[in-house]
């Protein structure tokens, strides 16, 4: 048994089949029409679907009046507890005729359904016990909820009676009302409750499943809920790329919604795109061109790249090789990404030929050995010093003092040796990866060709060449050249002390703040002048 959907698109409807016990994820940017699509799916399937809106009230009231289970389920599904209520009343009663924006206020119905089912199940167990009928007591939905909730939040436990819900720390006798739970605790309770009381064999449409749920337990929550309801199927509608990438099942990217024709620009995420799943989801969901950069992207790196390249989506990709691979792979897959992409890598002793070859591939090279070094270039550090409202003479004194301190730091053997060692390792790795023995047909030919190619690799010569370049930059007092050769965390600390008279962390925080808030236009302009120019092609 499966759910079959047809989603209208400008090029014709696309068919989506969701088997029982499986899930799909729909990801898209804010304003792309995700919620409208969730509404469309709910309306298409009628009473087979149950949608949990992103706009949901989370007031937990354990003292709600106790009502019949059927009435509570009617209230939950259709927005009215009357016995005669049916699917035709859902739009007006549950959604107040505002299906995409109405605040869903059904927590009371969830609680009432749980209490009613608990009472009914307990009565059956009691009657069988009195009649001496052999009967294995089944877990109530409240008990199933409690088990999942306590697995996710082991520092708390639920105390559920016939008419109340309380919370306590395990091993403690003191408890408090469930109404006083934190936002996250109530959100988890609500979502578990919605899933466990859902009608059998339903399609559950969850809009923003990550809302109010801490990232560390979000995947575990939905794993357990999918396992708890193998009879149901799930549609996750989210803008959380990491969450979407983590789910098993088909993934779709919504790009846009045309309200006049009620059509969506939506695509199935290809499984074999050459990208990790999370990255592919990001790329297809993005509306801006993609700029791949080296590193893991801390807040300072992110601030620099975002202010210099404001029209690009910045994606960190680890090493130079990873950046080149991402750019070339995305360009090969341009038929489905339909996005412009480019890459930036650190300066790594590339000569003019290397830089030209990389540029042809769509990859630019930084003028420095790592992105934070750009802050110590004279034209950049001058703008930083100017924010201290110094007279020009004092600004230049600070720039020269920084130059002297950095040259002095770079002269220390314990600074140079690790830099040279890392450079040698990179060169060796690059050479080994460039060895091509695929055309050799015998072991002797492979061995001979490998030895021949390795003869040109002299580690001592590589180390000496890098040492000589560093010494020359120091001797010439050529700070830009030095910053292209050396990466050392102590250098930025020197800049913080001399330029802003502060420590490293406050300095990084200040830089991040002023760049992201556009509070230092001179600094931004200098950064844009120092880093590679990458233009967005408006016709791409």
Q: How confident is the model at residue 450 (pLDDT cuts 50, 70, 90)?
A: confident
Instruction: Give this prediction's pTM.
Output: 0.72
Please provide the DSSP assignment of 144-173 as one string.
HHHHHHHHH-TT-EEEE-SS-EEEE-TT-S
Query: For residue range 319-357, what is the model confidence (pLDDT) as tens digits?
Result: 888 999 999 988 887 766 677 899 999 997 788 888 999
Q: How confident is the model at residue 471 (pLDDT cuts 50, 70, 90)?
A: very high
Q: 3-state class of 531 per DSSP? A: coil
Predicted confidence at residue 24, as pLDDT, reads: 95
Please provide the DSSP assignment of 363-419 as one string.
EEE-SSSSGGGGGGSHHHHHHHHHTTT--HHHHHHHHHHHHHHHHHHHTSHHHHHHH
Query: For residue range 392-423, what is the model confidence (pLDDT) as tens digits?
Result: 999 999 999 999 999 999 999 999 999 999 98
Q: With 90 as the cut, is the pLDDT of residue 368 above it?
A: yes
Predicted confidence at residue 517, as pLDDT, reads: 75
Q: With 80 as the cut, is the pLDDT of residue 262 above it?
A: yes
**Which residues touch 480 (CB under 8 Å, ≥6 apart)?**
367, 368, 377, 378
In the chain, % helix, strand, coil (3-state, to 5) comes to 50, 15, 35
Query: For residue range 239-249, what is the model confidence (pLDDT) as tens digits?
Result: 888 888 888 88
State the pairing for strand pair 23-28/251-258: parallel
Q: How confident is the model at residue 284 (pLDDT cuts 50, 70, 90)?
A: confident
Q: How confident is the model at residue 539 (pLDDT cuts 50, 70, 90)?
A: low
Domain spans, the chain: 15-268, 278-530
Helix (H) or strand (E) segment spanning residue 342: strand 341-345
Average of per-residue pLDDT values in the chain? 91
Name the token pair of 57: 């009230």
Residue 279 vs residue 59, higher pLDDT: 59
**Residue given tokens 């009608």 in the structure block:** 199
Beta strand segments in 210-362, E:
233-238, 251-258, 263-268, 290-293, 313-316, 341-345
Sheet containing 157-160: give its strands across. 157-160, 165-168, 175-177
Residue 429 vs residue 127, higher pLDDT: 127
Closest CA to 254 of 16, 29, 10: 29
Closest CA to 167 of 157, 180, 155, 153: 157
**Within a 13 Å sphere around the CA of 253, how many CA atoms are in the beta-carbon half?**
22
Helices (H), 1-48: 34-45
Predicted confidence at residue 336, as pLDDT, reads: 67
Predicted confidence at residue 447, as pLDDT, reads: 87
Query: For residue range 491-516, what is the model confidence (pLDDT) as tens digits?
Result: 999 999 999 999 999 999 899 988 88
Query: For residue range 18-36, what is the model confidence (pLDDT) as tens digits?
Result: 999 999 999 988 888 999 9
What percent of the chain shows pLDDT beyond 70? 99
Contact predicate 317/278, CB 8 Å: no
Predicted confidence at residue 335, as pLDDT, reads: 66
Q: With 80 as the cut, is the pLDDT of residue 170 above it?
A: yes
Q: With 60 as the cut, is the pLDDT of residue 139 above it?
A: yes
Bridge partners (DSSP) listed for residue 28: 254
Q: How far is CA 311 from the centre of its chain?
A: 19
Name the architecture of domain 15-268.
Answer: 3-Layer(aba) Sandwich (3.40)
């Amino acid at each position: 048994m499966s759910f079959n959907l047809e989603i209208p698109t400008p090029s014709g409807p696309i068919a989506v089949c969701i088997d029982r016990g499986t899930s799909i994820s729909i990801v898209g940017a804010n304003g792309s029409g995700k919620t409208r699509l969730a509404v469309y799916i709910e309306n298409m399937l009628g009473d087979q679907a149950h949608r949990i809106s992103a706009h949901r009230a989370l007031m937990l009231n354990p003292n709600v009046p106790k009502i019949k289970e059927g009435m509570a389920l009617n209230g939950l599904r259709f927005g009215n507890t009357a016995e005669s209520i049916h699917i035709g009343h859902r739009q007006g009663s549950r959604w107040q005729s505002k299906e995409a924006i109405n605040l869903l206020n059904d927590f009371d119905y969830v609680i009432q359904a749980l209490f009613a089912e608990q009472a009914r199940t307990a009565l059956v167990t009691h009657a069988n016990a009195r009649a001496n009928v052999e009967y294995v007591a089944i877990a109530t939905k409240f008990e199933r909820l409690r088990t999942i909730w306590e697995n996710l939040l082991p520092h708390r436990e639920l105390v559920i009676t016939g008419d109340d819900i309380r919370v306590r720390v395990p091993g403690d006798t003191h408890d408090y009302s469930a109404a006083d739970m934190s936002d996250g605790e109530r959100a988890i309770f609500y979502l578990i409750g919605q899933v466990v009381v859902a009608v059998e064999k339903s399609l559950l449409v969850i809009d923003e499943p990550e809302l109010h749920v801490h990232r560390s337990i979000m995947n575990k929550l939905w794993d357990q809920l999918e396992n708890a309801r193998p009879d149901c199927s799930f549609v996750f509608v989210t803008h959380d790329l990491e969450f979407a990438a983590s789910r098993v099942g088909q993934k779709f990217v919504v790009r846009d919604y045309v309200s006049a024709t009620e059509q969506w620009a939506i695509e199935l995420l290809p499984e074999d795109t050459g990208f990790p799943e999370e990255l592919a989801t990001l790329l297809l969901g993005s509306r801006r061109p993609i700029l791949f950069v080296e590193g893991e992207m801390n807040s300072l790196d992110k601030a620099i790249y975002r202010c210099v390249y404001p029209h690009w989506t910045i994606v960190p990709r680890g090493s130079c090789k990873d950046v080149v691979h991402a750019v070339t792979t995305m360009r090969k897959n341009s038929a489905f990404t339909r996005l412009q992409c480019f890459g930036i890598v650190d300066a790594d002793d590339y000569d003019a030929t290397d830089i030209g070859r990389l540029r042809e591939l769509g990859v630019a090279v930084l003028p420095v050995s790592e992105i934070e070094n750009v802050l110590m270039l004279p034209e950049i550090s001058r703008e930083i010093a100017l924010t201290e409202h110094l007279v020009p003479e004092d600004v230049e004194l600070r720039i020269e003092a920084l130059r002297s301190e950095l040259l002095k730091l770079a002269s220390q053997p314990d600074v140079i040796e690790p830099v040279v060692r890392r450079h040698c390792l990179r060169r060796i790795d690059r050479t080994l990866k460039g060895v091509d023995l695929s055309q050799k047909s015998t072991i002797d030919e492979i061995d001979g060709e490998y030895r021949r190619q390795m003869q040109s690799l002299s580690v001592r010569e590589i180390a000496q060449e890098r040492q000589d370049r560093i010494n020359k930059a120091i001797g010439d007092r050529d700070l830009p050249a030095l910053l292209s050769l050396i990466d050392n965390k102590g250098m930025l600390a020197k800049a913080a002390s001399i330029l802003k008279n502060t420590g490293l962390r406050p300095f990084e925080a200040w830089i991040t703040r002023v760049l992201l808030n556009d509070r230092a236009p001179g600094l931004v302009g200098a950064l844009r002048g120092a880093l590679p120019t990458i233009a967005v092609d408006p016709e791409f």
